[in-house]
Amino acid sequence: MPDLAGRIAVVTGGGSGIGAETCAVLAGYGAALAVCDIDEGAARAVADGIEAEGGSARPVRHDVRALDSSRQMVATVERDLGPIDILVNNAGVSRRVPFLELDEAEWDRLMAINVKGVLFTTQAVLPGMIDRKSGRVINMSSVVGKEAYPGFLHYCTSKFAVIGMTQGLAKEFAGADITVNAVCPGIVQTPMHDAVVAQMAEGAGVSVEQAWSDFVGSVPLGRAQTARDVAEMVAFLASDKAGNITGSAFNVNGGMEMR
């Protein structure tokens, strides 16, 4: 079991889905959480739930698209909780768009959150970790960050980029004893995936239930992954048990992608 007692963790996109479950799991292992989300109400609900269970959490409104927001988030967390030990870059969006219908606005919208969001938040957090010569950074990629799927070119590109940033950061900051790894979820029933599957169902002219069944049917283990499955991998990578692991991208996808 990971021991995160005394650690301060920041989770972006912490107000729902995988982010919310990651906050709960890290708190369960003893970390104090900064639940960061552009939706402050959602972040507050997650933080209140953690506090009600005896954990420590603070909601922080954070727009990952803005470097100033990242800097303000770090200042707020350091003031309210302490120096940041763990950063989980989880905030992300997805939408199915056929390639010939993909316009610049949609490309820029998704890249601003999925790629620049990792860039800006990590740039704001890393200086403190460097000063302390200690830190864990975990970036949320995807099964499509290793093998692209049709209809999701911009999303796939963003998640390949996250793995590239993970490797580059791991090499650049290894000398400061900062580990940087990525997690690649497969099919997880979250609000983001629900919206994608609804799009797929509409395009195929089938029910949402049938689309989910077909989607899960592509998983060798025959079942979707849970947010808890993903969060437990994050907790492991955040712990001392993973102290000699960096620059890797770990699959949590039921065997959909095995590289």
User: Annotated active-site positions, please?
Assistant: 155
Closest CA to 2 of 39, 38, 27: 27
Residue type, 221: L
Residue 9's region, left for phi above 0, alpha for psi from -120 to 50, else beta, is: beta
Tell me the C-alpha distance between 253 and 153, whole Å. Answer: 19
Angle at 112 between CA 176 and CA 61, to 5 degrees: 75
DSSP 11: E
CB 95 within 8 Å of CB 145: no
Q: Retrieve residue 171's tokens.
A: 């090499």
DSSP secondary structure letter of residue 185: E
Token reading at 156: 């796939």
Long-range contacts of 141-146 (CB under 8 A, 24+ apart): 141/166, 141/182, 141/183, 141/184, 141/249, 142/184, 142/185, 143/184, 143/185, 143/186, 143/187, 143/251, 143/253, 143/256, 143/257, 145/182, 145/184, 145/249, 146/184, 146/249, 146/251, 146/257, 146/259
Residues 6+ away with beta carbon under 8 Å from 199:
95, 96
Indicate the SS3 state at residue 27: helix
